[in-house]
Amino acid sequence: MSRTSRSDFNGELARREKRLAYLLLLPTFILILAIVLLPLFANFWISFKPVKLGDLRPPSLIIKEALRGAITSPGDIFKIEYRFRNSSVKYPLTEASLRDTLPDGFLVTILDPACEIISEEGGRTIFCTLGDLDAKARGKLVVEAVLEEPMLVNKDILKASKPETLF
């Protein structure tokens, strides 16, 4: 039996078959490289790109209600303060407003110009139009009132109704 040397397989047909074999294997090599390299590139991209919690959270209107003054006897003057802020550092809020239910037992004497009181069945509602709020915008609304019936109003009753935000 005679041995064939490598030089016997260097003909034109052998070169064509070799090129065809590499071309048929090329999609496999590209796929394997993509499976390995794309996650590696993504990992490095994420590690250098600053991602903050603010990027993940949608903008919202945060409202804190506070009662200033004593509510013990009829004729006491007190204030209801609504402090609001836009939670987003990037995005504005359009047509922001708040709504809160007010209990009976006091008379509103001074109302913030952005607010109005709506009498409905079952109580009074204060509705304040804040308008467009820029990113990181803050503000305060003050409602001054005089106590008429101490039994109907206390801090717990005022805090029981959470202000509702609309935007």
d(CA 64, CA 163): 8
pLDDT in tens, 80-129: 999 999 988 888 999 999 999 888 888 899 999 999 999 877 678 999 99
Per residue of the chain (167 residues), give pLDDT as tens. 556 556 566 788 989 999 999 999 999 999 999 999 999 998 888 888 776 766 677 889 999 999 998 888 888 999 999 999 998 888 899 999 999 988 888 889 999 999 999 987 767 899 999 999 999 999 999 999 998 887 777 788 888 888 988 87
Q: Sign of the CA dihedral 64, 162, 154, 110?
A: positive
| Predicted TM-score of the model (pTM) | 0.66
Q: Sign of the CA dihedral 118, 119, 121, 125?
A: positive
State the burial class of residue 137 (Cβ atoms within 10 Å of its Cβ: 0-12, 13-18, 19+): middle
